[in-house]
Structure 1
Amino acid sequence: METGVKTASEAGTENGTGDPRGAGGGPGRRRARWVTGGLLALLVGALVVAGLLWLPRPQPRPAPPPRLAPAQRALTAVTAGVPAALPDLVELIGAQETRLKTRPRDARAWAVLGAAYVERGRRTADAAHYPTAERALRTSLKVRPRGNAQALEGMAALANARRDFRAARTWGEAALKADRKRWTTHALLIEAYTGLGDYEAARGTLDRLQALHSGPAVMARSAAVYWDRGWREDAAATLSDAAAAAEAPAERAAWLERAGHLAWERGDREVALRHFTEAVRLDPDQRAAQAGQGRVLAALGRTSEALSAYRLALAAQPSPQYALELGELYESLGLEQAAHAQFDLLRAQVRSATAGGVDEDLVLGRFEADHGDPGEALRRLRAEWRRQPGIAVADALGWALHRAGEHEEALRYAVRATDKEQGGGVRSALYAYHRGMIEHTLDRSGPARRHLAEALRINPYFSPLWAPVARGVLEELGEPPEVDVPAA
């Protein structure tokens, strides 16, 4: 009997589901679909998370190194044998003196204090700091008499600063006996050997230094040795690398100043001025660079700026060498009174330096030979030659002999200063000028012409006084005579 009402089974068959519970399915089937959907969602989520994990993520920036306090910066520089900023040195000295009030038996603190005073004296040209440095270093050696390489090295640095290269060699070699691997001592010994004219020892010590250590300070010391050997391009490139690698502004400024000096010695005024200017920007207390600016600006004809640069340098670092250069610049300008004022200042500076144990006979001998008493110059420079017969002393002694009328003997020393076979590998316009003028006096026209031309070729601006003299004598000598070639 048909009632018109379909059963659930029939409805399901008609809907095509084959399920008597209808198109929506029962609770069991709906649960299965939810589980399947959930698993799919979890899988997709996992894939999304995995993809995010594979995406490159920004790397955290490394934390900058902690900034050192001024005293710590100076301590790092002093113990590494590199230039330190002057304000930092003042902080370090104060910190060490405070420490020693409560720890008077601290040998290391005494050694650091002594080294800091040496560096301060060198940076300011104030020799009054050197006796204080010596007392501190000797106290360190008294507190710790054995194996105190740091204090022995400090004594070597002090002797170099005083231009007592024989004592520097003794102290440096004693420091090496205490610690053979102390690379900073090797750098000091190179300076001492060079001052004594022992270039073979200087080169051997450089080899050992380079085997022990690398870095800007070693590069700078290497450049000095290369320059003394006449390797000008190697020296300039190595100093450029040293300046680029230095991190502390005071250290970088020091290497830039040396690079500027080498550029000046080559007659490259623009490069020299760029180096000197950058050095002063990095370290306003870099007075050697300020004096260098004066030297170059005078050669560029910027006289007012040159005078200002020299005065600034001398006001803060009363160096006899700067006073001599400024006096000669005044003299070249016809300002005799101003020149004599600088020469009087030079004598006063030498007296002050001598009171602090500094040997200034080299610069004083040069001054006396050209502007004072050649006999006094000769006496001083003969004694200096007996103490430390380096190339600079050979040149100055030869010139003093010439000015005193001893031309034949003068030539022997001039040859020593300019002959590679005798150690004089450095190419110096001043040395070549001196040799050429001595040869001119001895009527040796060919060699005189050659060496005066060499001086002007090395650096046409080497002196506001003597470069014009070299040009005048060359014009007087004229061209070399033509020589007939014998017939074959």
Structure 2
Amino acid sequence: MRSRYLAVLAVSALTCVGAAALVGTGSSITHLAGAAAPSGSSGPVDRTSTAGAIRAAQLRLDRVPADDRTWAQLGAAYVQQGRITADPTFYPKAEGALARSLRLRPEGNVDAYVGEGALANARHEFAEAVRWGRRAASADPYDAAALGVLTDAYTQLGRFDDADSALQRMLDLQPGLSSFSRASYAFEQRGDVPAARAALTRALAEAVDPADVAFCRYYLGQLDFTTGAPAAALEQYRLGLLAQPGAPMLVAGRAAAAAAAGRTDEALRDYADVTARLPLPEYLLEYAQLLVSLGRDADADALYVVLAGEQQLFAANGVQDDLTAAVVEADHGDPADAVRHARLEWDRRQHPLVADALAWALHRAGRDAEAREFADRAAGTGWRNAIFAYHRGMIEKSLGHDDSARRELTRALDINPYFSPTQAPVARRALAELGGHP
């Protein structure tokens, strides 16, 4: 059942005037830098960036090495820096700093518990994140950050009732950017796009820091793009880049929307820029798909080599990510390996994204009867996701269920006709073969 504050947000979508991983903001880091900065330091400290927060904490610990709270704050900053830079070597540093904090104060150390939960989420150890989040919430029931850890972990585990309960408590305690943006993702997964947009608009109204404004604009743009409105998405990305010039997520979003709008040269420039600066798997995959759609298979293959190296780096630093491997192998490698990776991920968490990846891997391996079960599970929350509908439609087509296939492929193209530069044309051809009209 939808919770109290979430229901209010859903209703507000009807009147709100306005324009989805784990959610995080820069606000807590700015606060962290202020809390950790030493007095009388020998030089200026950048208090507006995660790097500044790290330096401030390090300076403080040079003076007061037994400060358990600053060790916890340093660990949290390392986690955030790992996420921002896509450099997982920050995670072992975070692990060391948080362990030091817990050695100094093993009981009641809420900051360290929250930091451990954030680290577990970053490494995709979501069950472990729940353990730390519960410990933090038990020690301090009024700590909103602990509830954010729990919301993120429960969401990725597919435990949506538990996620709603944690999010409701977070909204009650601290209605602001972090909680509203998480509410937006909750609505999006249910297929309630107006409510998701309303929640993000509320988050934007709370944003002051340029990074937070950019964050909100990016996700508003993502909602526009994934619902088939690339021009509206481009405007959100433009506004976000005014707040934070060069922000990688906005540049990547602009690239995808530009490609959908037929501005291929701009898209290629943006993808080349963002993948050089921040080679996240999703950016590399999007860039590779665009290159394949242009017949530049050799260039795309080079990106898959980079992606494989990134996956090895993340694995070496404790990040569990069989989902990316499953997605890559399903379309560009060995379908049997795709199934193996997808099942490993499913054993850890039953999220719709994982169900969809497993469905597609099984389909590519020729196991459509099994694939259909997981495609149905992916669609179970009502998420308006064109990729889900496309995969489901192709599975139904392979099973000879022509009516269902037509319905799902039509739905995919209705949701977002630009959902993939390589797969959207396949969807159109398949629909034409079935006598449908995109």
When normalised by structure 1's length, the TM-score is 0.80
**Which residue of structure 2 aligns with residue 33 of structure 1?**
none
Q: Secondary structure of the residue that 2:49 maps to in structure 1?
A: helix
Question: For 1:432, which of 371, 375, 389 is the aligned residue?
Answer: 389
1:405-462 Cα shifts (integer Å, max 9, x gaps): 111000000000012xxxx221100000000000000000000000000000000100
Q: Distance in 2 between matches of 1:86 and 1:133?
A: 19
Question: For 1:296, which of 221, 245, 257 is the aligned residue?
Answer: 257
**Which residue of structure 2 aligns with residue 459 of structure 1?**
416
CA contact (8 A) 1:86 1:123 kept: no
**CA shift at 1:281, angstroms?**
2.5
Q: Secondary structure of the residue that 1:127 maps to in structure 2?
A: coil
**CA shift at 1:280, angstroms?**
2.4
**Which residue of structure 1 aligns with residue 208 of structure 2?**
247
**Which residue of structure 2 aligns with residue 442 of structure 1?**
399
Distance 1:254 1:371, change over 3 A: same
Q: Distance in 2 between matches of 1:73 and 1:230?
A: 29
**CA shift at 1:313, angstroms?**
1.4
1:236-261 Cα shifts (integer Å, max 9, x gaps): 12102211321111111111111111
Q: Secondary structure of the residue that 1:386 maps to in structure 2?
A: helix
**Which residue of structure 2 aligns with residue 76 of structure 1?**
31
**CA shift at 1:73, angstroms?**
8.4
Q: Secondary structure of the residue that 1:210 maps to in structure 2?
A: helix
Question: For 1:388, which of 349, 366, 371 is the aligned residue?
Answer: 349
1:185-231 Cα shifts (integer Å, max 9, x gaps): 11221110111010111111122112112122221111111111111
Partner amino acid, structure 2, of 1:321: E
Q: Distance in 1 between matches of 2:274 and 2:233?
A: 17
**Which residue of structure 2 aligns with residue 44 of structure 1?**
none
**Which residue of structure 1 aligns with residue 198 of structure 2?**
237
- Counterpart check, 1:224 vs 2:176: no
Q: Distance in 2 between matches of 1:143 and 1:224?
A: 37
- Counterpart check, 1:370 vs 2:325: no
1:156-204 Cα shifts (integer Å, max 9, x gaps): 1111112221111111111111111101211221110111010111111
Q: Secondary structure of the residue that 1:357 maps to in structure 2?
A: coil
Q: Distance in 2 between matches of 1:437 and 1:405?
A: 12
**CA shift at 1:272, angstroms?**
1.0
Q: Distance in 2 between matches of 1:114 and 1:408?
A: 46
**CA shift at 1:102, angstroms?**
2.2
CA contact (8 A) 1:276 1:293 kept: yes
- Counterpart check, 1:352 vs 2:309: no
**Which residue of structure 2 aligns with residue 112 of structure 1?**
73
1:142-162 Cα shifts (integer Å, max 9, x gaps): 111010011110111111112
The gaps in structure 1 that reach 5 residues or longer are 1-70, 481-488
Runs of at least 4 residues off by over 3 Å: 71-75, 77-80
Q: Secondary structure of the residue that 1:331 maps to in structure 2?
A: helix
Q: What do you get for the CA RMSD once the two structures are aligned?
A: 1.9
**Which residue of structure 2 aligns with residue 158 of structure 1?**
119
Once the two structures are overlaid, the 10-residue window that deviates more, 237-246 or 435-444, is 237-246
CA contact (8 A) 1:72 1:92 kept: no
Question: For 2:231, which of 265, 270, 279 is the aligned residue?
Answer: 270
**CA shift at 1:77, angstroms?**
6.1
Q: Secondary structure of the residue that 2:318 maps to in structure 1?
A: coil
Distance 1:86 1:425, change over 3 A: farther
Q: Distance in 1 between matches of 2:34 and 2:362?
A: 43
Q: Distance in 2 between matches of 1:285 and 1:199?
A: 35
Q: Distance in 1 between matches of 2:27 and 2:132?
A: 26
Question: For 2:363, which of 395, 399, 402 is the aligned residue?
Answer: 402
**How do residues 89-168 of structure 1 correspond to structure 2 at under 5 angstroms?**
89-168=50-129
**CA shift at 1:106, angstroms?**
0.3
CA contact (8 A) 1:226 1:232 kept: yes
CA contact (8 A) 2:33 2:53 kept: no
Once the two structures are overlaid, the 10-residue window that deviates more, 469-478 or 161-170, is 161-170
**CA shift at 1:86, angstroms?**
10
CA contact (8 A) 1:307 1:326 kept: yes
Distance 1:285 1:130, change over 3 A: farther
**Which residue of structure 1 aligns with residue 38 of structure 2?**
none
CA contact (8 A) 2:33 2:57 kept: no
Name which structure has the greater RCO, CA cutoff 8 Å, separation 6+: 2
Q: Distance in 2 between matches of 1:322 and 1:87?
A: 26
CA contact (8 A) 2:379 2:388 kept: yes
- Report the structure number with the largest CA radius of gyration: 1
Question: For 2:222, which of 261, 278, 294 is the aligned residue?
Answer: 261
- Counterpart check, 1:470 vs 2:427: yes
Q: Distance in 2 between matches of 1:347 and 1:409?
A: 28
Q: Distance in 2 between matches of 1:414 and 1:79?
A: 47
Q: Distance in 2 between matches of 1:377 and 1:438?
A: 16
CA contact (8 A) 2:356 2:378 kept: yes
CA contact (8 A) 2:32 2:53 kept: no
CA contact (8 A) 1:259 1:272 kept: yes
**CA shift at 1:316, angstroms?**
1.7
Question: For 1:198, which of 144, 159, 168 is the aligned residue?
Answer: 159
1:377-408 Cα shifts (integer Å, max 9, x gaps): 11111111011111100000010001011110
CA contact (8 A) 2:34 2:47 kept: no
How many positions carry a matched residue from both structures? Answer: 402
Q: Distance in 2 between matches of 1:231 and 1:212?
A: 24
**CA shift at 1:95, angstroms?**
1.6
**CA shift at 1:78, angstroms?**
7.5
**CA shift at 1:277, angstroms?**
2.1
Q: Distance in 2 between matches of 1:355 and 1:86?
A: 31
When normalised by structure 2's length, the TM-score is 0.89
**How do residues 1-40 of structure 1 correspond to structure 2 at under 5 angstroms?**
none
Distance 1:281 1:77, change over 3 A: farther
Q: Secondary structure of the residue that 1:318 maps to in structure 2?
A: coil
